[in-house]
Structure formats: C-alpha cells, structure tokens
Amino acid sequence: MKLCRFNEDRLGVVVDGAIRDITDVQTEIRANARYDMKGDAVIASLPEWRSRMEEAAESAEPIDVASVDLLPPIARPCKTMAAPVNYEAHVAEMAAQPHVTGEDKGAQRPSGIQNQGIFLKANSAVVGPSEGVAIRFPDRRNDHEVEFVIIVGKEGSRIKRENAMDYVAGYTLGLDMTVRGIEDRSFRKSCDGYAPVGPWMVTADEIPDPGNVPFTVHLNGNLQQDAHTKDLIFDVPRLIEFASEFYTIYPGDYLFTGSPPGVSEVHPGDVMRCNCELIGEMEVVVREAE
C-alpha cells in the first residue's frame, strides 16, 4: 500500500497512480490517540487499521496526483535520523574534496559510520515535494543527497538485527540537503526545508528486500546520483539495530540511510527529480529563501 498526505492535512492511498482520499479514517485514528504519544498515530495504527484503509480507498473517487500538493508522508515524526558516510564511493568522493567538507579549515570527523554514529535532522526541516527547498545561504555550497529512507513502524529499543525488520513500516525517498562547512553536521543539515521526503510511503511488504533497491536523482534533467541499496555499508536491519542501541525508535520516525556518490551543488531555479521504481517519483524545486 502507498500512503500519502496531501493538500490540507489529508490522507490518501495511491492506487494505480491516483489518490483515494481516506481522511475520515485518519480523523478516527487521531481521535483515539493520546495527544502526548511519541510518534505518529496513523503509522502506529497501521497493523490494526490497514484493511479498513484499503476498504475506504476502494470506495473513494480517484484524484489526479498532479492536481494535489504532496506533503511529507508522516504528519508527526518523533525524530528524523540520518546515517552519514554509508556508501564507500561517497566516502571517497568527499575525502577527495577537503575544501568542500571543511577539513581544510580544521573540521575533524572520525572515520566510518560506526565511529561517527547516526545524526539528527530537525523535524522542522522536513517538507513534502510540493514545498520545495529554500536555499538559506546562497553564497555557500548547498548539496543534494538523495537517500533511501526507512519509516519506523513500532516502538523499540536495543533491537537485534534479526528482529529489525519487524520495526519497519515502510520506505520513502528523501533529500538530505546540506550546507557545506565546518559547523556541526546536524546544524548544517537542519535548515528549513532541507529534508524533503516523498512522494509517499510504500509499506514494507511492497519492498521485501530493502537491500535490492535502485534509485536515482536527476538534477535539471541530468542523472546525478545513480544508486543501489546493495552498496550500503550498514544495511537496513543494521541501521535499525545501531540507532536503537542509542535511543528508542517510534512509529513514524524517519531514518535516512545515507548518501550514495554523485552529490552536487544546487542553486535557486534548479529542479531535483528523485525516482525509485518501487516507490515512485518526486520533483523538488530549489528557490532562494526569503
């Protein structure tokens, strides 16, 4: 099942390329959820409510995807996690450019994801494809990083690798936008709009092997990142295990799995088109911040 959020906080199921509005189901789920719950009520309710969502979708009128504003697939993520240095070829391309990473100005980072750990992006940086990316510092280098993104399905802590897949609700695509420089990574990657996700969430059953997923980003029509999750250093179950060693993960948490090689600079006016056959396609426009 493909679940999307659109327009004014509406929930939809994407069926054969069209959206079926099931906002009534979302309203009912939220009415029965505690306000102070950690995580997203709709995602937490998926196992119990999925069949009702599918029934509601069947009787809803199809809406053209192109006619709506797509929002990020999760209304209330508890946190947005992201893996650094998780593809060898990306590690190599950054090591070759110390003027980009700030290492020529003294920025120091230990080597490897095991030592660097997972970082957080502010939830306020998360946007849907329709919102686009506003470049906050046009005089500095701003890069796109297209990433395969895990959406957590249920609460868990100190999860073992062999059980990790039980904690995955689904997947989406994300752009881990970055201002290059010497500041802390989370700071530079948390500007408003620097975490576009979408176009929607695909439930885990549609991607039985998350280690076998090709995906791409085109910048202004040119293929820029041509990636495959088989090249991940920490794969999906290992990332769940690693993250949950340090904190409890909650339904609706995002986990960006790291950037493949091919990162490049973006400028206002650019268009990034992310594609994954198993998920879908999202187009994100770059503009200058006000």
List of residues contacting Mn ion (CB under 5 A): 145, 176, 259
Determine the residue with CB nearest Mn ion. Answer: 176
- Phi, psi values for residue 210, rounded to 5°: -70, -5
Residues present in the chain in total: 290
Q: Smallest distance, Å, CB 154 to Mn ion?
A: 25
Q: How far is the CB of 181 from Mn ion (least distance, A)?
A: 15
Q: Are 121 and 82 in contact (CB under 8 A)?
A: yes
Q: How far is the CB of 169 from Mn ion (least distance, A)?
A: 21
Q: Which is nearer to Mn ion, 21 or 176 (CB)?
A: 176
Q: How far apart are the first and last CA of the chain?
A: 37
Burial degree of 31 (CB within 10 A; 0-12, 13-18, 19+): exposed
Q: Which is nearer to Mn ion, 19 or 94 (CB)?
A: 94
> CB of 199: closest distance to Mn ion in angstroms?
19
Helices (H) and strands (E) in the chain, counts: 7, 20
Q: Which is nearer to Mn ion, 54 or 103 (CB)?
A: 103
Tell me whether residue 145 or residue 270 sits nearer to Mn ion (CB atom). 145
CB 107 → Mn ion: shortest distance, Å? 16
Closer to Mn ion at the Cβ: 178 or 275? Answer: 178
Cα distances (angstroms) measured from residue 117 to each of 80, 230, 235, 244:
14, 20, 14, 11
Tracing tokens 């609706």 back to the chain, one arrives at 252
Write out the two tokens for 137.
């510092």
How far apart are CB 53 and Mn ion at their closest, in Å?
A: 31
Angle between helices 23-31 and 41-58 (to 10 degrees): 140
- Smaller CB separation from Mn ion, 29 or 274: 274
